[in-house]
Amino acid sequence: MKTIQFREAIAEAMSEEMRRDESIYLMGEEVAEYNGAYKASKGMLDEFGPRRVIDTPISELGFSGIGVGSAMIGNRPIIEFMTFNFALVGIDQIISNAAKMRQMSGGQFNIPIVFRGPTASAGQLGATHSQALESWFANCPGLKVVVPSNPRDAKGLLKSAIRDDDPVIFMESEQMYGDKGEVPEGEYTLPIGVAEVKREGTDVTVVSFGKIIKEAFAAAEILEKDGISCEIIDLMTVRPMDFETILKSVKKTNRLVILEEAWPFGNVATEITYLVQSHAFDYLDAPIEKINTADTPAPYSPVLLEEWLPNREDVVRSVRKVLYK
């Protein structure tokens, strides 16, 4: 194992795959000359040249469409958005073309494309730069949605996403790029659509994904001091969702808390809640608790932002609530 930053894991995954397959290229704003807005493509222009690491104008709709078109003729593009908030400018290409082309062409065209970049809040960036859009993309058939929470998962899942013959939405976080973690030295991939139990427990299941899962781990440490054992599941992939891993854990603990950095209406936690109550109702010893942001646009004020975001205290309260403590 080696210890590297999240941004380095992303760069390694892309570089290793580009060395393996010449049809893969990276395109987006500042990915080349500037080494990426968050240095997640550092050194790649020097190695692969401007034909395969391509700087674009500020034109998400345009370069998303170019990526989809080039995937239709045999390339495997990686499209980087400086933030997924900006993907909304190009969302017509993602939803109307990338997600649907295989079905609309009767299987004549695969769309092996990865759309990647940071999601959700990253401090005081204001309402239009702090949106968690995982559930938006996961709502669309034809797209796979991956949200890793650490360098090891990021590298293994990104390599799988690049090799996948379907469009993959790969969502990171500006606040994780500097995170360090252990990554295997050799070649490895992680399967898309498989969740992992990151912490074994017996009293309550906590499901989360992405950077907000850190608050779940922090809450579990607090609760352990009171003899409460939390099992934490990292979804890793929002779509396809590994529902069986969640169900198995809930049948063991009989209680479920879901932590998600997203608005509360119609999100990933809502879907999990429905699936668990419809498949494991008799196993539940308490109503399911879901923890989300406040139902408002993200505030700029640091005091309001702290109140708006879910945190470890919210997790502790919810766990105690389902345990009636």
Element (H, E) at 101: helix 101-104
Do the Cβ atoms of 110 and 166 come closer than 8 Å? yes
List the Cα angle 204/210/212 in 5-degree steps.
65
DSSP character at residue 208? E
Residue 279 is a catalytic residue: no
Do the Cβ atoms of 107 and 166 come closer than 8 Å? no
List 12, 80, 129, 261, catalytic entry? 129
Residue showing tokens 């646009």: 297
List 60, 260, 261, 289, catalytic entry? 60
Residue 16 is a catalytic residue: no
β-strand partners of 204: 230
Closest CA to 119 of 198, 35, 38, 206: 38
Contacts of 207 (CB under 8 A, 6+ apart): 232, 233, 235, 246, 256, 257, 258, 259, 269, 272
Q: Which residues are catalytic?
A: 60, 129
